[in-house]
Amino acid sequence: AQSVTQLGSHVSVSEGALVLLRCNYSSSVPPYLFWYVQYPNQGLQLLLKYTTGATLVKGINGFEAEFKKSETSFHLTKPSAHMSDAAEYFCAVTFTGGGNKLTFGTGTQLKVEL
Amino acid sequence: KAGVTQTPRYLIKTRGQQVTLSCSPISGHRSVSWYQQTPGQGLQFLFEYFSETQRNKGNFPGRFSGRQFSNSRSEMNVSTLELGDSALYLCASSPATVSNEQFFGPGTRLTVL
């Protein structure tokens, strides 16, 4: 069975500072990993995904994540936070043969302060 | 290309009633999945339909059911509503490629009184 742990339900950063949102996964088979963002009263928007190949993945809005198999991690980073990045972020996992059943983490609420 | 659409966006029901939610996937997408989002339990997978067949099912009681039509549109039904069914119900569609990327709709906010 797959699972995802997101450390820190709330993260606060200053505008222009580094954003680091942590995600660790557990999977007995090679995982597919995703980061989604959710703005208030909206659905989820895909930021980036890792399936196979390059372990450093670049996504939209300047976000990137690195798949580290040895650490079972897929942390999300952005060099410089913007006010518009304030939202809730979800890490999710599935695997080949798992269809489209995503297992989500509990989410991290990102606050960006002036 | 139009995104995933869900209707209605908001719904208020009372305990014991039943409800049907609708989802229209992105054109060409054959897979539709449903998720329940609550403050207490987070995002939980309900079920997935692919080419009118249920391909995956989450750990929800039988009161939750769904179906998919030949045009890939999907409905989910919840019978005998309970207060705990109050949630945001999200639909996601996928082209069913190996990347398993899913595109989410805005959700239906169900309130059970």
Measured distance CA(A67)–CA(B16) in Å, rounded: 46
Q: What integer is the mean pLDDT of B65-82? A: 97
- Residue B80 pLDDT class (50, 70, 90 cuts): very high
Question: Tokens standing for B43?
Answer: 């995002």
Q: In the predicted model, is pLDDT for residue A96 greater than 80?
A: no
Query: What is residue B99's predicted lDDT score, i.e. its pLDDT?
Result: 60
B56 forms beta bridges with B48
Whether the CB of B98 is below 8 Å from some CB of chain A: the reply is yes
- Residue A92 pLDDT class (50, 70, 90 cuts): very high
Q: Do A45 and B101 lie within an 8 Å CB cutoff? A: no
Q: What integer is the mean pLDDT of B25-47? A: 94
Q: In the predicted model, is pLDDT for residue A75 greater than 70?
A: yes
- Residue A100 pLDDT class (50, 70, 90 cuts): confident
Interface test with A, best of B43, B44, B60 (most A CBs within 10 A): B43
In the predicted model, what is the mean pLDDT of chain A?
Answer: 93
Convert the pLDDT of each residue in A41-62 to its tens digit.
Answer: 889 999 999 988 889 999 999 9
A94 → closest Cβ in B31, B55, B100: B100
Is-contact B7 B94, C-beta < 8 A? no
Is-contact B103 B27, C-beta < 8 A? no
CA-CA-CA-CA torsion sign (A12, A85, B109, A48): negative
Convert the pLDDT of each residue in B82-104 to its tens digit.
Answer: 999 999 999 999 986 656 688 99
Convert the pLDDT of each residue in B18-35 to its tens digit.
Answer: 999 999 999 999 999 999
Q: In the predicted model, is pLDDT for residue A1 greater than 80?
A: no
Question: Tokens standing for A7?
Answer: 């450390």
Q: Could you tell me which of B19, B17, B20, B21 has the C-alpha nearest to residue B7?
A: B21
Interface test with A, best of B6, B55, B59, B100 (most A CBs within 10 A): B100
Count the neighbouring beta carbons within 10 Å of the beta carbon of residue A55: 12
Q: Is A60 helix (H, G, I), strand (E, B) or coil?
A: helix
Q: Give CA separation, A52 vs A13, A22, A91, A98, in Å.
A: 31, 20, 17, 15
Q: Do B99 and A51 lie within an 8 Å CB cutoff? A: yes
What backbone torsions phi and psi does residue A60 show, to the nearest 5 degrees? -85, 165
Q: Do B50 and A99 lie within an 8 Å CB cutoff? A: yes
Q: In the predicted model, is pLDDT for residue B5 greater than 60?
A: yes
Query: What is residue A29's predicted lDDT score, i.e. its pLDDT?
Result: 84
Q: Do A100 and B43 lie within an 8 Å CB cutoff? A: no
Is-contact A37 A44, C-beta < 8 A? yes
Query: What is residue B18's predicted lDDT score, i.e. its pLDDT?
Result: 98
Query: What is residue A15's predicted lDDT score, i.e. its pLDDT?
Result: 97
Q: What integer is the mean pLDDT of A17-46? A: 93
Q: What integer is the mean pLDDT of A89-98? A: 87
Question: Tokens standing for A69?
Answer: 């198999």
A99 → closest Cβ in B42, B48, B105: B48
